[in-house]
Amino acid sequence: MMLALQVDKWFKSGSRSDEVKVGAEFRKERRGNILEIAKVLEIVPDPMGVPHVHYQVSIQSAHHECFEEQRTLGLASFAERFGKALAN
């Protein structure tokens, strides 16, 4: 039963996951005045059916230049990491 609950947690989208849509932008503030802004590019399932978010992340800091790159995270992990949606 414990394994079933864990698997259900991995594959189900939580309430924050419902807010993750293509084109939406999210922010994460980190220690050291570092700000990550993530823009959702697409959400696609992997071969096992687990949804993954492909996103462009911009990392900004007062002490370093801003840089951007593309990344991928599972939908649940993305929703957990980027909890603050930006207004469009």
Beta sheet of 34-45, edge-to-edge order: 67-74, 51-61, 34-45, 25-30, 84-85
Does the pLDDT of residue 8 top 50, yes or no?
Answer: no
The pTM (predicted TM-score) of the whole model is 0.75
Q: Determine the pLDDT at residue 16.
A: 63
pLDDT band at 9; cut points 50, 70, 90: low
40-63 pLDDT, tens per residue? 999 999 999 999 999 999 998 877
Position 49 scores a pLDDT of 92
Domain boundaries defined on the chain? 2-85
How far apart CA 2 and CA 53 sit, in angstroms, is 27
